[in-house]
Amino acid sequence: MKDQSEFAKNIIKIYKKHARAWTELRGQFLYEKTWLDHFLSLIPEHAQILDLGCGSGKPVAAYLIEQGHAVTGMDSSDTMIEMAKHNFPEQHWIQADMRQLDLGQKFQGILAWDSFFHLTQDDQRKMFAQFSKLAETGAALMFTSGTSHGEALGDLFGDVLYHASLSQDEYRQVLKDHGFDVVKMVEEDQDCTGHTVWLAQKF
């Protein structure tokens, strides 16, 4: 049996390959709105927000922009970034890997929605130092995860899609270790298509 984490190496390639099809599949319905509103309630008006795994910028970054915030969007797919630049040319879009991101800037909000959970468990652990480095004091951090420690394989247009998660206890510990307080966490939120969501704030 192939080591499941081997499939993690294909994530960037898969999202490059299926960027437009995935964007169409995702659609424009903002099922994340309640969570995004809670996230935004923690940060100042006209904040600088970093969206890790921003995709085409629709609908999530679009909503943040509508609320008056400035978005720096990062995605590993060049096609996704091209679409985002086309959709919102006045914002800042970067093709990069979140694990190696070095912007020389801190943000009041950091979002890693449906992106962070494609990293291996080891890479997820390392990302909390990245989050801390990129976050101003008081910044909000929101990400989605699995429900428990483990790996899972899904499917995207016939390609194997890797997901991983730490345990809830470990997420709480690494957040604390890197200067974040958990504000809210809901496992398999039925009001948000079953997403497991973490909202934290840098202290």
Mean pLDDT of 122-137: 98
Contact 48, 70 (CB under 8 A): yes
List pLDDT tens digits, range 35-85: 999 999 999 999 999 999 999 999 999 999 999 999 999 999 999 999 999
Q: Average pLDDT, whole number, for the chain?
A: 95
Structure tokens belonging to residue 70: 């400035």
Q: Rounded to whole angstroms, how far apart are CA atoms 5 and 14? A: 15
Strand, coil or helix: 40: helix
Contacts with 122 (C-beta within 8 Å, 6 or more apart), sequence order? none
| Residue 105 DSSP one-character state | -
Residue 26 confidence (pLDDT): 87
Considering the chain, what percentage of its residues have pLDDT values greater than 70? 99
Domains of the chain: 4-202 (3.40.50.150)
Cis peptide before 59 (omega within 30 of 0): yes
Any idea which of 10-19, 47-56, 61-70, 86-95 has the lowest mean pLDDT? 10-19
Asked whether residue 190 carries a pLDDT value surpassing 70, the answer given is: yes
Q: Is the pTM for the entire model greater than 0.85?
A: yes
Residue 148 confidence (pLDDT): 97
Asked whether residue 19 carries a pLDDT value surpassing 90, the answer given is: no
> In 3D, which of 114, 113, 121, 123 has the Cα closest to residue 164?
121
Q: What confidence category does residue 1 fall into, taking pLDDT thresholds of 50, 70 and 90?
A: very low
Q: What type of residue sits at position 142?
A: M
Give per-residue burial for 149-164: e unless 16+ CB within 10 Å, then b.
Answer: eebeeeeeeeeebbbb
Asked whether residue 12 carries a pLDDT value surpassing 90, the answer given is: no
Q: Rounded to whole angstroms, how far apart are CA atoms 150 and 37? A: 30
Q: What confidence category does residue 2 fall into, taking pLDDT thresholds of 50, 70 and 90?
A: low
Residue 198 confidence (pLDDT): 98
Q: Rounded to whole angstroms, how far apart are CA atoms 67 and 61? A: 10
Q: What is the dihedral of CA 145, 36, 133, 144, to 10 degrees?
A: 0
Mean pLDDT of 116-144: 97
Residue 6 CB neighbours (<10 A): 11
